[in-house]
């Protein structure tokens, strides 16, 4: 009986630890208005650092984002995030720099090391002329590294 109780206690603690944070690192692709590669790092305080290398009709941009990830309910596989960051690259054939805001939702699968997310990321070009993109919506699929 004590072994069974100990086994149940270990299983519950292991499940709680696993659900406290879904992953640390994930890399994948983003498809939408801006399409390309995405890499995310999640630390223990629900802070997400993300790097993106994306093509869109304006050109090619690198984006570095800082997001806060949270889940307002008991679903430990659905996460929401919001944040902002900097971008740089090529916009209409010229060098550019600007800012981006991101918000979205992400689902982390239990049995397979994948996440799928939907993100909205408006961008504003500030250097080398003013321009903006509002409808940058993308679907992201990432492979969980650990």
Q: Which of 12-16, 122-126, 132-136 has the highest mean pLDDT?
A: 122-126
- pTM for the complete prediction? 0.78
Which pLDDT belongs to residue 97? 95
Please give the Cα distance from 91 to 122 (Å, whole number). 14
Domains and CATH numbers, the chain: 22-144 (2.40.160.20)
CB 140 within 8 A of CB 121: no
pLDDT score, position 73: 81
**Which DSSP symbol is given to 45?**
T
Torsion angle defined by CA atoms of residues 77, 78, 82 and 83, in that order, rounded to the nearest 10 degrees: 20
The pLDDT assigned to 44 comes to 81
- Per-residue pLDDT averaged across 52-80, rounded? 91
User: pLDDT-derived band of residue 21, with 50, 70 and 90 as boundaries?
Assistant: low
How far apart, in whole angstroms, are the C-alpha atoms of residue 91 and residue 94? 5
């Amino acid at each position: 009986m004590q072994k069974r109780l100990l086994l149940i206690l270990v299983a519950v603690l292991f499940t709680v630890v696993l659900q406290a944070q879904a992953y640390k690192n994930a890399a994948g692709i983003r498809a939408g208005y801006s399409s390309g590669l995405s890499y995310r790092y999640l630390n223990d305080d629900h802070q997400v650092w993300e790097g993106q290398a994306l093509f869109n009709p304006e050109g090619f941009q690198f984006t570095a984002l800082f997001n806060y990830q949270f889940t307002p309910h008991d679903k430990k596989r659905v996460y929401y995030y919001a944040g902002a960051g900097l971008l740089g690259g090529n916009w209409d054939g010229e060098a550019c720099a600007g800012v981006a805001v991101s918000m979205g939702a992400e689902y982390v699968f239990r049995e397979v090391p994948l996440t799928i997310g939907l993100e909205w990321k408006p961008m504003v070009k500030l250097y080398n002329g003013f321009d903006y993109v509002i409808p940058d919506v993308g679907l992201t699929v990432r492979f969980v590294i650990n």
